[in-house]
Chain A
Amino acid sequence: MIKGLKDLFIYKKPDENQERFRFPEPSEESERWDQYDENNSENNQQGKQVQKTSRLKEPITVEQMMKNKAQEQSSSNQNSKGKKSKAINQDRKISKSLDDNIKYLQDAFHLPVNQDIIIREFKIAHRISACIVFIDGMIDNRIAIQFTLPQLMDVHAFEGFEGGCPISFVKDNVLSINQIVEMNKYQEIIPQILNGLIALFIDGCDKCLVMESRGYEKRSVSTPMTETVVEGSQEAFTENLRTNITLIRRIVKNEDLITEFMIVSKTNNYLAAVLYMDGVANPKIIKEVKRRVESLDVDYIAGSGMLEQLIENNRCTLFPKIISTERPDRISAFLMEGKVAIICEGTPFALAVPITFFDLFHSSEDSNLRWQFGSFLRIIRLMGTLIALLLPGLWTALILYHQEMIPTTLLNSIIISRTPVPFPFIFELLIMELSFELIREGGIRVPGVTGNTLGIIGALILGQSAVEAGIVSPSLIIIVAVSGLGNFAIPNYSLALAVRIYRFVLIGFAALAGFYGVSVGFTILCALTLSSKSFGVPFFSPVAPTTKSNRDIIMRDNIYNQANRPDYLNAENEKRVGDSPRGWLKKGQPGGRSNE
């Protein structure tokens, strides 16, 4: 190694016979090494000089290299496609021969290596060969044992059957299952089997029946973990897509609530549902959401978080453009406003689009409380957001650049408290901020009660010890703690994380140029945020740009005064409150009858 390092610094005259540097060209290189191996094994007696000569090739241009690469890639793609089509051509329609179908399914599901795919063959009414296909553990066994096999095998159930393909007869007269669909393409049937449905193939039929039979293990509905409220619903989404949609349908009991299912990933066939209120949501937004979701070309998606990253607009800002919530009541409110919801299976969160900055710091509790309380809570949250974002930066600017702006008595006590601290202020601040971040992250990762205890004990002991050891000043602990509390007041996790990161950026700007630096940092942050959009809606609507809105941005007005849906959504039906929202009151009273 030492020799190698030494060689780096010593000039060597190039050897005329030595191979010169040239662009490594993958295919060429592999050829060379293949050739080298062959030569090495077969002709050991040949000298190295000869090998070098045979390996020498004319250098190629970069354009040529790219062209070769593209050709190689397209040929490998064609090969892999060819292989796939040979093995499982999912475009194929099902055959009338049951044996062919079974053979095809065995190939498609890699039987017998794959052991949780069950193909159960039997005779319908002791006469016609048939089979059911399902995934073990994904179905409710009672559907197969009680409602499918006994009825199909029963001879009496087929009295009146006149021969031919029995698919329609079975569907109409034999199976007592509520959801049965006829399908004839493997590309439709296989995802259904993978989702926990049973497929029934019958000999002599070029269609099959797909029966609803999902019955896998799932978690029951529980209380929200990250969006707890004092007043309001205590139900949260679960990992089950059907349950989540049911939770919403229980709140929005309206025939115009549309649910469209889509498979969003190619390999793990991940299912998502797009929900919207027909006649309320803007069709352009619905179209855009569906366009983005349908156009995904990703192998693996395992949750709303991954889907969110794939469909959001990225424009240099950390603030989320899609809201993620675990509360069915919140999603219902969004749907009624004219937004579009996306629910994925496997995660207890639903997404809603388009959103604005102000949606991120609203909570469902705001609407459940009277407007005075709701407004008060929102102001506190806004203050929390501003404190979390700006306070450490402003404090840095004050201490490092603008001491003259601090009242003398306060300045005196700050100076006294900082006297024993041996570090520069910015170092002291960064130590404290990073310690606080560590406590917070550690508290989340440590399970259960221990996590909370770690957080409190860690903060207390670390803070007190740091002050006693003279590593940080008490005033700084207050600043860090207050900004941390401010961050906890932010109701959206992604927004809180973005604020945590931006805080460090602003500390950097403050250390660079005091208040001037903070102004520069804040301007850059605003420019990036104000230019961003969520599904075409400017992120700071309805403030910048100004659009018509109810008084529901920071201060919240009475529910009966919030007459219109947000203007920036361009909802099909703008009105959400009638002319007499509180019809029990007389004309002239707030929200009272419009006419006597």
Chain B
Amino acid sequence: MNKEGKFGYHEAISLMVITIVMKVFFTGPAIIMSTVGTAGWYMIILSMLVAILGFMILLSLLKRFNNKNIMQISDLVLGKPVGSIMLITLAALILLVSSINMREYIEVMKVYVMPESPPSFLMVLLSISVAVLSFMGLETIARYSKFIIYILSAGYILVILLSTQNFVPRQLYPVLGYGLDKTIITGLQRCSVYGDIAILGIIASSLQGYREIKKIGLWSILISGIVFSTSLLAYSLVFPYTVGQEITSPMYEMASLIDYGGFLQRMEPIFLFLWNFGSFIEITLTFYAALMVFCHVFRIEDKRPVILPMLTILYCLNLIPRGISEVISVNINRLRTWGGVLFFTPSIILLVVALIRKKKEAV
């Protein structure tokens, strides 16, 4: 039986930061550039502030029910029958998010690295990683992210620093992008990129209480915001916004443009590993969160027998989009626009009902 176990502050921050920031390495920046032009790097800071507000709602819910996760709170506040309906919906949606992230990763992988491999083959390999990590449990996933974050940080900083040779400061103009109003509206909508922070509510029982969750959440959003902002700033400096919105993965392209002579050029292998390890963690965490919610609803203590069937569902969900264009224009676009609502709604509902029904558990 795999238990969630307990893990610390560093592991949790690593887990959340990796899960949140992976979006910036895929198609997200191109969509942001096409929406707000050159203003993406500070628009994302605005989104961060909105996400902090969303997180505060979750936090106040967790404060009312200390050391309980969102599933337990739902049982207390809504009761088992109604709570189960909400939780099943939540699990299905998180699984959908996981499948969208997975398909996006596979498609971008296919475009840049493995053009001749069928997506199903790449998905099978990825599913094996997800299955192994899930079998080992949440504690192992958290430890893996803590272990890998050193490699990811070093790779990320290296790529950004080496790309400075391609920085063209005038490409930041016009600073206000397509207009301040558009930047603000998009910034509010795009708080979804930080939406994964709501997973903290699902894994709350594995963390060391409300105060630590507060620290973990705020630091994770802050670090992710800095990473988002610096990478968007770097893209804006390297690619003109007209070109940037056409690129599937600006970070990959940026790494391949690095050229410091014959033997220090084309740094995409570094980026590739960064991409792979980060995506494995992101997809596994969302998958595992869905698994946790599902197992809670049906009171399944041992999650291992459920992993393979659920992974098969994930695999099948992945096969639904016809191709990269459908994934980007429909799925990713909708997820990034409405994802915030999806992630934060359960906590809002629970908090409102808890306030009305005056349900509370002493801290």
Q: Which of B44-52, B63-71, B144-152 contacts A (4 or more CB under 8 A)?
A: B144-152
> Given contacts A409-B262, A520-B125, are A401 and B114 in contact (CB under 8 A)?
yes
Per-position contact with B for A511-532: 1 when CB-CB < 8 Å, else 0? 0111111011011101110110
Contact assessment for B147 and A543 in the assembled complex, using a CB-CB cutoff below 8 Å: yes
Contact assessment for B139 and A531 in the assembled complex, using a CB-CB cutoff below 8 Å: yes
Per-position contact with B for A541-555: 1 when CB-CB < 8 Å, else 0? 001111000000000
Instruction: Output the residue of A404, A523, A524 with the most chain B CB within 10 A.
Output: A523
User: Which residue of chain B has the shortest Cβ distance to A404 in the bound complex?
Assistant: B266
Contact assessment for A526 and B128 in the assembled complex, using a CB-CB cutoff below 8 Å: no
B265 within 8 Å of A by Cβ? yes
A538 within 8 Å of B by Cβ? yes
In-complex Cβ contact of A520 among B128, B147, B263 (8 A): B128
Contact assessment for A515 and B276 in the assembled complex, using a CB-CB cutoff below 8 Å: yes
B207 to chain A, nearest CB (A): 13
In-complex Cβ contact of A527 among B10, B117, B126, B136 (8 A): B136
Q: How far is the CA of A543 from the CA of B148 in the complex (A)?
A: 10
In-complex Cβ contact of B132 among A405, A407, A528, A538 (8 A): A528
Q: How far is the CA of A517 from the CA of B114 in the complex (A)?
A: 11
B189 to chain A, nearest CB (A): 33
Contact assessment for A530 and B109 in the assembled complex, using a CB-CB cutoff below 8 Å: no
Per-position contact with B for A370-414: 1 when CB-CB < 8 Å, else 0? 000000000000000000000000000000011011011110000
Contact assessment for B136 and A530 in the assembled complex, using a CB-CB cutoff below 8 Å: yes
Binding site for A on B (CB under 8 A): 7-11, 109, 113-114, 117, 121-122, 125-126, 128-129, 132-133, 136-137, 139-140, 142-144, 146-148, 262-263, 265-266, 268-269, 272-273, 276-277, 280
11 more CB-based (< 8 A) A-B contacts, given A516-B272, A523-B132, A540-B147: A407-B263, A515-B272, A516-B109, A516-B125, A519-B272, A520-B126, A520-B128, A520-B276, A522-B277, A527-B132, A545-B11
Complex interface: chain B residues within 8 A of A531 (CB): 136-137, 139-140, 143
Complex interface: chain A residues within 8 A of B129 (CB): 520, 523-524, 527
Contact assessment for A544 and B147 in the assembled complex, using a CB-CB cutoff below 8 Å: yes
User: Which residue of chain B has the shortest Cβ distance to A515 in the bound complex?
Assistant: B272
Contact assessment for B144 and A513 in the assembled complex, using a CB-CB cutoff below 8 Å: no
User: Which residue of chain A has the shortest Cβ distance to B2 in the bound complex?
Assistant: A531
Contact assessment for B113 and A526 in the assembled complex, using a CB-CB cutoff below 8 Å: no
A100 to chain B, nearest CB (A): 56
Contact assessment for A530 and B269 in the assembled complex, using a CB-CB cutoff below 8 Å: no
Complex interface: chain B residues within 8 A of A524 (CB): 128-129, 132
Contact assessment for A526 and B147 in the assembled complex, using a CB-CB cutoff below 8 Å: yes
Interface residues on chain A, size class? 20 to 34
In-complex Cβ contact of B113 among A515, A523, A543 (8 A): A515
B105 to chain A, nearest CB (A): 10
Contact assessment for B140 and A527 in the assembled complex, using a CB-CB cutoff below 8 Å: yes
> Given contacts A409-B262, A516-B113, are A526 and B276 in contact (CB under 8 A)?
no
Q: How far is the CA of A46 from the CA of B122 in the complex (A)?
A: 70
User: Which residue of chain A has the shortest Cβ distance to B109 in the bound complex?
Assistant: A516
In-complex Cβ contact of A530 among B117, B147, B273, B280 (8 A): B147
> Given contacts A514-B114, A519-B277, are A407 and B144 in contact (CB under 8 A)?
no
Q: How far is the CA of A410 from the CA of B126 in the complex (A)?
A: 31
B159 to chain A, nearest CB (A): 14
Contact assessment for B133 and A523 in the assembled complex, using a CB-CB cutoff below 8 Å: yes
> Given contacts A519-B280, A523-B133, A531-B140, are A512 and B125 in contact (CB under 8 A)?
yes
For this complex, 20 residue pairs linking A to B, each with C-beta atoms less than 8 Å apart, are A401-B113, A401-B114, A407-B262, A513-B114, A513-B117, A513-B125, A514-B114, A515-B113, A515-B273, A516-B114, A519-B272, A519-B276, A523-B129, A523-B277, A524-B129, A526-B147, A526-B148, A527-B133, A527-B144, A545-B143
A335 to chain B, nearest CB (A): 28
Per-position contact with B for A536-570: 1 when CB-CB < 8 Å, else 0? 00101001111000000000000000000000000
Contact assessment for A517 and B125 in the assembled complex, using a CB-CB cutoff below 8 Å: yes
Contact assessment for B268 and A540 in the assembled complex, using a CB-CB cutoff below 8 Å: no
Q: How far is the CA of A404 from the CA of B11 in the complex (A)?
A: 36
Complex interface: chain B residues within 8 A of A516 (CB): 109, 113-114, 122, 125, 272, 276
A521 to chain B, nearest CB (A): 9
